Amino acid sequence: MEIALLIASVLVLLSIAASKLSDKFAVPALVFFLFIGILAGPGGVGGIHFNDPWMAKQIGMIALVFIIFIGGFDTDFKDIRPVLFPGLVLATAGVVLTAFIVGIAAVYLLHFQPLEGLLLGAIVSSTDAAAVFSILRSRRVGLKGSLRPLLEFESGSNDPMAVFLTIALIRIIQNDLAPAQLFPEFLMEMGVGALAGFCMARVSLAFIQWLKLEFGTLYPALTTAIVLLIYSATSLLHGSGILAVYVAGMVMGNADFIHKKTVKQFHEGLAWLMQIGMFLVLGLMVVPSSILPVVGDGILIAVVLMFIARPVSVALSMLPFGFGVNRTTMAAWVGLRGAAPIILATFPLLYGLPQANQMFHIVFFVVLASILIQGTSISAVAKFLGVDAPLGRRRKYPIEFERSEAIPATLTDLIVPYESSVGGKTIFEIGPPSKCLIVLVSRDEKFIIPNGSTRIAGGDVLLVLGDDKAIAALQAVLTSRKI
């Protein structure tokens, strides 16, 4: 046990340290995690032999549960409401189309059996939200309009469909499920998953508010147990545990509860740890001597996925919604593969399918190619298509505040435009609403503790505490122009 813990801790430390190189070389951090795993594996300097598909699957599913939960937790209902239907189409029909096109390519190009080809397509059919937007944020590039919430929602919600397709196809191959049962099984899993996730999230929120723990540091442990409970209970009810966790994450993330900020920070760090773990596991399971025979196959499937399957599935899914050529093209390119395909690639190995080893190494190529080609070019493609938007640098304040039922207020920052009519006036002259308090003024990278005689200048950033109506009223005053 001590040796295993030593090896695991060293690998994680090396991965975290290597993430510092991401910005310097403009290469996604996930690539470094992957190569550290390969170097530590049987064909690298570490010589660690890890060839346990069952253990890899169990670790992977637990990792996916926490990655999906924080994806839902970070999803704002207000942002996804305008793109709810396009996102659902991408997360369902888009995944099926991608799997089908890749499956057909595997049959004709790699001479797979039809069901095996479709299985390979299902494994690589879902995108990775955490990977995509960690890259966007590290490169300081955003996306205009509804593109960002659309892709976040799609990436966070399409894993349940990929998991369902993968497991269902394996069962069909093993004659454990008839093709005619596929659609009823889908309706049951997704229906039970969505309902269970919503109901258990509401019960969990009520339980958290009722419990009122004495130690705030216990809340991350509490929510960790809740996430695992939601996943396992839903799965035992024959529903999609992954979908239940995502729905629960959305419900909890859009509600106010005690120590919510602490919980969010904990689960964000936990999700990163899970991603590191999955890429290390993939690297450890890859045997370099086994890669060479499937290099051509891996490149073919990666090309089909990136340049045919994903663009066609996105174009057909977005056609009814009038997204336009540029936005549709950008959505097609932001199809980064990450943790989910890695986890799903262990399923055929576990069930001993004939092409399992070949599939696993093909998935390795697909994930690596997606990260290296799409991951490093997202910002350039966004600028070329004219859909990029600056991702503003958020100031770090020496004050933190957490909204709760006891204090129904928000701490936010408001920018004073240079042409604002309040420029040069004192806070007393501006007269902020009664339920609104200007806590700090940020000017020239310095902070000013304000009082009534403090004069406001154009370009100032005000850190304001108040309820939503009062903050909106103050913002209207600050943005009024000089006559």
Specify the higher pLDDT residue, 391 or 37: 37
Q: What is the mean pLDDT of residues 154-160?
A: 86
Model confidence band, residue 218 (pLDDT cutoffs 50, 70, 90) = very high
Residue 103's pLDDT is: 96
- Name the strand (E) or helix (H) holding 375: helix 375-385
Comparison of pLDDT for 52 and 302, the residue scoring more: 302
pTM: 0.83
- Closest by alpha carbon to 146, among 84, 205, 191? 84
Query: What average pLDDT score do residues 147-172 get?
Result: 89
What are the structural domains, with CATH classification, of the chain?
Answer: 2-390 (1.20.1530.20), 410-478 (3.30.70.1450)
Q: Note every long-range contact of 47-52, with CB atoms under 8 Å and residues 24 or more positions apart, other chains counting.
A: 48/7, 48/284, 50/281, 50/284, 50/285, 51/285
Q: For residues 174 and 189, what is the distance between their CA atoms, to the nearest angstrom?
A: 20
What is the rounded average pLDDT of the residues 2-18? 90
If pLDDT is split at 50, 70 and 90, which confidence band does 182 have? confident
Average pLDDT over residues 45-68: 86
Residue 140's pLDDT is what?
53
Which residue from 371, 209, 203, 217 is spatially nearest to 283, judged by alpha carbons?
Answer: 371
For residue 393, the model assigns a pLDDT of: 54
Share of the chain above pLDDT 70, in %: 92
382-391, 396-405, 419-428, 455-464: range with lowest mean pLDDT: 396-405
Residue 216 has a pLDDT of 82
DSSP 8-state code for residue 224: H
Predicted local distance difference test score (pLDDT) of residue 197 = 96
Give the model confidence (pLDDT) of 330-352 as tens digits. Answer: 999 988 888 788 889 999 998 88
Most confident range (mean pLDDT) of 274-288, 303-317, 432-446 is: 303-317
Report residue 78's pLDDT band, with 50, 70 and 90 as the boundaries: confident
- The DSSP secondary-structure symbol of 441 reads E
413 compared with 287, residue with greater pLDDT = 413
Is 361:290 a contact under the CB 8 Å cutoff? yes
Radius of gyration in angstroms for the set of CA atoms belonging to the chain, rounded to a whole number: 24
Residue-level length of the chain: 483
With a cut of 70, say whether residue 96 has pLDDT above it.
Answer: yes
Distance CA 245, CA 233 (A): 11
How confident is the model over 220-239, as pLDDT tens digits?
Answer: 999 999 999 999 999 999 99
Pick the residue with more confidence: 476 or 45?
Answer: 476
**Per the structure block, which two tokens stand in for 451?**
């009082």
For residue 166, what pLDDT is reported?
94
- For the cut 90, the answer to whether the pLDDT of residue 279 exceeds it is no
Q: What is the pLDDT of residue 102?
A: 97
Task: Determine which of 38-47, 120-129, 393-402 has the lowest per-residue pLDDT on average.
Answer: 393-402
Mean pLDDT to the nearest integer, 375-401: 74
Q: How confident is the model at residue 41 (pLDDT cuts 50, 70, 90)?
A: confident
**CA-to-CA separations, 430 to 152, 451, 478, in angstroms, rounded:** 39, 12, 9
Q: Given this model, what pLDDT does residue 483 score? A: 57
Instruction: Determine the average pLDDT of the residues in 272-295.
Output: 83
Q: Is residue 25 very low, low, confident or very high in pLDDT (cuts 50, 70, 90)?
A: low
- Lay out the sheet containing 446-448: strands in order across: 410-415, 461-466, 436-443, 446-448
Model pLDDT, residue 74: 86
Report the pLDDT averaged over residues 185-198: 94
Query: Is the pLDDT reported for residue 57 higher than 90?
Result: no
* Per-residue pLDDT band at 388 (split at 50, 70, 90): confident
What SS3 class is residue 145? Answer: coil
- Position 334 scores a pLDDT of 87
Q: Which of 130, 145, 157, 140 is nearest to 334 (CA)?
A: 130
Query: Residue 84 in contact with residue 373, Cβ under 8 Å?
Result: no
| pLDDT value for 135 | 63
pLDDT over 70 (residue 137): no
Inform me whether the pLDDT recorded for 39 exceeds 80: yes
For residue 453, with 0-12 CB atoms within 10 Å meaning exposed, 13-18 middle and 19 or more buried, which class applies?
exposed
Find where tokens 């659609």 sit.
183
